[in-house]
Amino acid sequence: MSDHYQVLGVGRDATGEEIKKAYRKLARKLHPDVNNAPGAADEFKAVTHAYEVLSDPEKRRIYDTTGNENGTDNGFGGGGFGGQGFGFQDIFDTFFGGGAPGGGRGPASRSRRGQDALITVRIDLKDAVFGVNKKIDVDTAVVCPTCDGSCCQPGTSPRTCDICHGTGQVQRAVRSILGQVMTSAPCGTCSGFGTVIPDPCHECSGEGRVRNRRTLNIKIPAGVATGTRIQLSQQGEAGLAGGPAGDLYVEIRVNNDPTFLREGDDLHATLTVPMTAAALGTTVTLDTFDGERDVTVKPGTQSGEVTVLNGLGVTHLRGHGRGDLRVHLHVETPQKLDSEQEELLRRLAQLRGEEYSEGRLNSSGTGVFAKLRDRLGNL
């Protein structure tokens, strides 16, 4: 006689649940309906017999104590299929998923969770810098105000199905190696719900929800960027038959700003100053998102130089503090000059040793190119 523990592949200290799990795994593998290999049927019988003994606490105690089964070693065991610990329900659960009479799954629920929804919201760059509270209109499914999600016309209620009598399942006979057994399937009349709705709600047609537009107040945090999504729990589509609502996702789109360009958490702006102001130095007032700020232009400033205003950028989304505002200076050269302005510039050029002749810059003498040549010659 083979050892029942070895047959099931479990230890002698295995729990009842571990024994049942091992049996189901082997039975599904060895059942003659799915395995026609030579010897599979005998192995299936041995596995079934081992489970019959070890699943019964008293039989297992006798087996562990004496090494025999007190006269029950006869194929499927003296307890038969109806014996304690191993019965019709165990076999049915193994092969048919638990649909036996008295052990079915019961009627299904009409309620279903609603779908998630996604909407896009546009905001200005300033709102992304500081955050903003915004009202949005959402067109989604909401709980039916007439039936309050019951799916029934007011004053009525669901009725127990006459076919399945409220179980949501109907039985049918199936032939197997064990003979004819009864399986369960969802009732076609009530779709497995166990009840039917004789008077569906007229407004929602028995769904328990209708489409409607509603207004939500949402808080958009500082630091968001285009593509950021904000999740609002249970603000999405209402579920069927009063089921929980899905979630609403708000995707942010940040509008372009005419003055500032965002890169990460830094802002960039271009400030144009006249040539004379760049040469002499000046202070320019810049209108930022934080109000007016002075930008110092040092004497001799060249185009492309950058002045940094610390902490005037975008708020960090997941942290403290803010980025910087980087002001790019652009020196503007005058394009149209009157005769007096031209004379002043010529005089300035002469004072600076920049010699002009007939509209051409003279590279000889002590002009600008001579100065450059002298510098290179001294290296």
Tokens at 167, concatenated: 């179980």
Positive or negative torsion for Cα 114, 120, 124, 126:
positive
Q: Is 151 annotated as a binding residue?
A: no
How far is the C-alpha of 54 from the C-alpha of 8, rounded, in Å? 10
Q: Is 164 annotated as a binding residue?
A: yes
Tokens at 243, concatenated: 């089921």
Within its chain, how far is the Cα of 80 from the centroid? 53
Which residue carries 């202070």 as its tokens? 283
Q: Is 152 annotated as a binding residue?
A: no
Tokens at 326, concatenated: 């980087």
Q: Are strands 356-357 and 282-288 parallel, antiparallel or unpaired?
A: unpaired
Q: Is 144 annotated as a binding residue?
A: yes
Whose CA is closest to 26, among 61, 3, 50?
50
Q: Are strands 117-123 and 248-254 parallel, antiparallel or unpaired?
A: parallel
214 and 243 Cβ atoms separated by less than 8 Å? no
240 and 193 Cβ atoms separated by less than 8 Å? no
Type of residue numbered 17: E
What residues form the annotated binding site for Zn(2+)? 144, 147, 161, 164, 187, 190, 201, 204
What residues form the annotated binding site? 144, 147, 161, 164, 187, 190, 201, 204
